[in-house]
Amino acid sequence: MTQMSAHRRAVEQIRDSYAAIPGGSAPRLAKATTNLFRFREGSQGARLSARDLDRVIEVDPVAMTAEVQGMTTYENLVDATLPHGLMPYVVPQLKTITLGGAVTGLGIESTSFRDGLPHESVEELEILTGDGRVVVARADNEHSDLFHAFPNSYGTLGYALRIRIKLKRVQPYVRLTHIPFTDADKCMIAMKEICERGEHDGEPVDFVDGTFFGPGELYITVGRFAEKAPYLSDYTGMRIYYRSIQTRTRDWLTVRDYIWRWDTDWFWCSRAFGVQEPLVRSLMPRKWMRSDVYRRLVGLDRKYGVIARIDRWRGRPLQESVIQDIEVPVERGAEFLEFFHDKVGMEPVWMCPLKATGQWPLYPLEPGRLYVNFGFWGTVPLPRGQFDGYYNRLIERRVHELEGHKSLYSTSFYGEDEFWQFYNGTAYWPVKRAYDAGGRLLDLYDKCVRGR
């Protein structure tokens, strides 16, 4: 059986399974891994298996495209494309993010300053819609409304079954340069200049991101493809990538190790589990040093409340999870960092510039305008008298005061009217009615804010 024949059989299976779910029971896609942080209490809705929709169907090295099933992880996709000297235009930071998840949600990485978000290199989507149809959506066909509304819809319009994406050429190695700054305003000005010119020190750049360790310690990291490397660093074992940023000016990685440089320690979040302690790290198998392992540990703690019990026993204040990615225009980036340091105080913070290359109605970034994604993931002690949600509400308000937006993969607290204002309910509801008239799938507010 060819890969495409196997795919068609998997499509029939999931369509039949969807049709068999009783009316009134909200379907939920069953996945082996998740990178969402919208936790629900209890099991709700009927589970829809996607176990046979996790393969790379074909890589075409001539057309420089890939046909990929929706539940394929970027780890498997990259493993299929790199032998051809190709990679997706934007590869989100964590190995178990799926292509369908990055397209219907949002993903970002250090190529986003030029190439936008993962959905912007999508040519075609095959989607199981809320009303049970399987449709093929492109920018230029009768389902173009669904094609454009699918990004940031988070599975509320349908599920991606097959995706055709464009690929780009790569070279074997990446040369990194870490540029230090002691002032956030100057850092943002330099980031804007590098991204707009597409070069640093007279040389073209292929990758741009940055790290905020504190008000007086920021770094922009620029990367450039290379055919040869004088040496190679390895951050998949005892050495830790983000710490190297503070101690090295120049570094070299294989292209694969560069793509997954953040995954071994889930950026810096592995320190919460002791994995950055040399003894623990030396005893922990390399195969366990991955973001999905740490994500499962967070899920277990959420379920059983182990850390909260220990904190109570030790007399420590309650902690609030502050796990978010937000975008603000680059010229407002220093203002956000000042607010975040003063009011939240979590460090480090990831900084990733991005520029939307087209108009995508449900996440209305201004096309061609440079934004900076700030990613921060951890817990913060609650002030006396405050309750869970205090910090996340502060962040939501400040982001929109700065003309920004936040991703919806984590907790949100918006009122319904302001939510639909920020995430373009005017564009969402006509598409929702066209492809899920019966409301079998949750709407975007119910799923991402109410957490139903």
Q: Which helix (H) or strand (E) holds 320?
A: strand 319-329
pLDDT in the model for residue 23: 75
Q: Which residue has the higher pLDDT, 385 or 23?
A: 385
Instruction: Give the distance, in angstroms, between the CA of residue 299 and the centroid of all CA atoms in the same chain.
Output: 18
What pLDDT, in 10s, does the model give residues 33-60? 665 555 555 445 667 877 789 999 999 9
CB 121 within 8 A of CB 86: no
The third-level CATH classification (topology) of the domain covering 3-170+429-450 is 3.30.465
Q: How do residues 258-310 score in pLDDT, each as one tens digit?
A: 999 999 999 999 888 889 999 999 999 999 999 888 888 877 766 666 666 66
Beta strands in 63-182 (DSSP E): 65-69, 86-88, 122-129, 134-137, 158-169, 173-181
pLDDT band with cut points at 50, 70 and 90 for residue 29: confident
pLDDT of residue 245: 98
The CATH number of 305-413, from 3.30.70, 3.40.50, 1.10.8, 2.40.128, is: 3.30.70
- The structure tokens listed for 192 are 């804007």
Residues 6+ apart with CB under 8 A from 149: 157, 361, 362, 427, 428, 431
pTM: 0.93
- At 281 the pLDDT is 93
Average pLDDT of the chain to the nearest whole number: 91
Q: Report whether pLDDT(153) > 70.
A: yes
Round to whole Å and give the CA distance between 384 and 164. Answer: 51
**What are the residue ranges of CATH 3.30.465.10 in the chain?**
3-170+429-450
- Beta pairing partners, 380: 320
What's the mean pLDDT in 65-81? 97
3-state helix, strand, coil in the chain (%, to 5): 35, 25, 40
Lowest mean pLDDT among 141-145, 170-174, 384-388: 384-388
pLDDT surpasses 90 at 419 = yes
Residue 84, pLDDT score: 98
Residue range(s) occupied by CATH 3.30.70 in the chain? 305-413
What percent of the chain is modeled with pLDDT above 90?
A: 77
Encode pLDDT of 184-231 as tens digits.
Answer: 999 999 999 999 999 999 999 999 999 999 999 999 999 999 999 999
Q: What is the pLDDT of residue 55?
A: 94
pLDDT tens-digit readout, 101-148: 999 998 999 999 999 999 999 999 999 999 999 999 999 999 999 999
Distance separating alpha carbons of residues 200 and 62, to the nearest angstrom: 31
The Cα 80–Cα 75 span in angstroms is: 9
